[in-house]
Amino acid sequence: MSVSFRHAIGVDLSATNTTVIIANSMGEIDSERKRETDKSSIEAPVKQVIEMAEECLDEFPVRPDIYGIGVSCIGPYDTERGGILRTPNIDFDFVPVREPLRQAFPGRNFIRGGDCFGAVHAEAEYGLGQGKENVVYVTMSTGIGGGVIVDGKALVGMDGDAGHIGHFTVDSSPHARKCGCRSPNGKKRKGHWEAYGSGTAVAEITRSNTFGPGCVGFPGLPVESKRLVLSTTHERLNRDAEIDEIMAEDLYVAARKQMDYGPLRCLIDGINFYNTIGFAAVTDAYNPEIIIVGGSMMEDDDLILHYVRENLPNHAILTPPEIVKTNLGSRNVALGGIAMLSRYGGEKL
Ligand SMILES: [Zn+2]
């Protein structure tokens, strides 16, 4: 089923930023707002969404009829109670979403947790996954996550959490890096993809290689390479920086300054080795035609995806899919709200 409409509200409600768009069912955007998410009270995030949507609507000479609202919010989302459950970076046990939106915008709604679940719908409807039945969206950002469409159907899972690919194990060796997630006994799990390829992980790996002789599993950097990374951080911040201010992007920017294949490229490819195992697991698990990659790490896609494409057949048994950077940019999650509303029609409020 696919419903067409002239105007609907699409929302990306994440722990860091909130994006609200007005678009038609073809994914053409008329109006857009992006702001840092207001987390000052349990009502604040959705109150802000309503304010931003009103601002978007004020841009029209005549207030348009709104078909409904499609929301892709940070998970876990409780579909029974209609709100966001306790999640890292939002300090409330429950943030109501459906009820306040129902009052503000009577119409249809489709609300789901998981930014990648929304994004994969946008990629399949409006992005590089158009016309394809088997599409995986991977975000490489602060963490790593995925949204999966197989045989034209989006995978949901028992808890609505299918596609948690960032926690695929890519390193089972004794020196495997610790992930942010914890096992029931409270210990951090080890060797997950997110502990290698996410922005957080790349920054940590770079810092420890810059600070000491090199963290386990990665080559230590020569002094001149360490200096180059730190000077790149200085340039970005426009002041003297400390080692703990080094971000993932500094490694990639510094690597481009090195002639030929320098030690920084070697470190990047050490990380890319684990990225490739992650992409290979995605390939063999879902047999996608295309894997579309987004998130802040794709600012440096040239230094990541090329290696992954080249080396994927060393790890994956199935036909290598196309692996490409998203052409929808960071608004693909809000567009996902629109795509889901069009695809599923939405629940009548
Ligand atoms: Zn993990």
Q: Which amino acid is at 49?
A: V
What mean pLDDT is predicted for residues 280-287? 98
pLDDT band at 345 (very low <50, low <70, confident <90, very high): confident
CA of 181 to the centre of ligand 1 (A): 4
Report in angstroms the alpha-carbon separations of 25 from 34, 98, 257. Answer: 20, 21, 44
CA of 269 to the centre of ligand 1 (A): 21
CA of 310 to the centre of ligand 1 (A): 26
CA of 149 to the centre of ligand 1 (A): 22
Q: What are the DSSP E strand ranges found in the chain?
A: 8-13, 17-23, 29-36, 68-73, 77-78, 83-87, 90-96, 108-113, 135-140, 144-150, 153-154, 178-182, 188-190, 290-294, 322-325, 347-348
CA of 204 to the centre of ligand 1 (A): 16
| Gap between the terminal Cα atoms of the chain | 19
| pLDDT score for 132 | 98
CA of 167 to the centre of ligand 1 (A): 4
CA of 135 to the centre of ligand 1 (A): 23
Q: In the chain, what percentage of residues exceed pLDDT 70?
A: 97
Q: Smallest Cα–Cα separation from 77: which of 46, 113, 52, 101? A: 113
Question: How much is the pTM?
Answer: 0.93
Whole-number Å distance between alpha carbons of 163 and 116 = 9
Give per-residue pLDDT as tens, 137-191: 999 999 999 999 999 999 999 888 899 999 999 999 988 999 988 899 999 999 9
| pLDDT score for 214 | 60
Whole-number Å distance between alpha carbons of 42 and 94 = 7
What mean pLDDT is predicted for residues 261-265? 91
Give per-residue pLDDT as tens, 220-259: 788 899 999 999 999 999 999 999 999 999 999 999 998 7
Pairing relation of β-strands 144-150 and 29-36? unpaired
CA of 112 to the centre of ligand 1 (A): 22
Give per-residue pLDDT as tens, 44-77: 999 999 999 999 999 999 999 999 999 999 878 8
Q: Which domains does the chain have, with CATH numbers?
A: 8-127+329-348 (3.30.420.40), 165-325 (3.30.420.40)
Report in angstroms the alpha-carbon separations of 143 from 20, 193, 194, 227. Answer: 22, 9, 6, 27
CA of 166 to the centre of ligand 1 (A): 7
Whole-number Å distance between alpha carbons of 12 and 1 = 23
CA of 187 to the centre of ligand 1 (A): 11
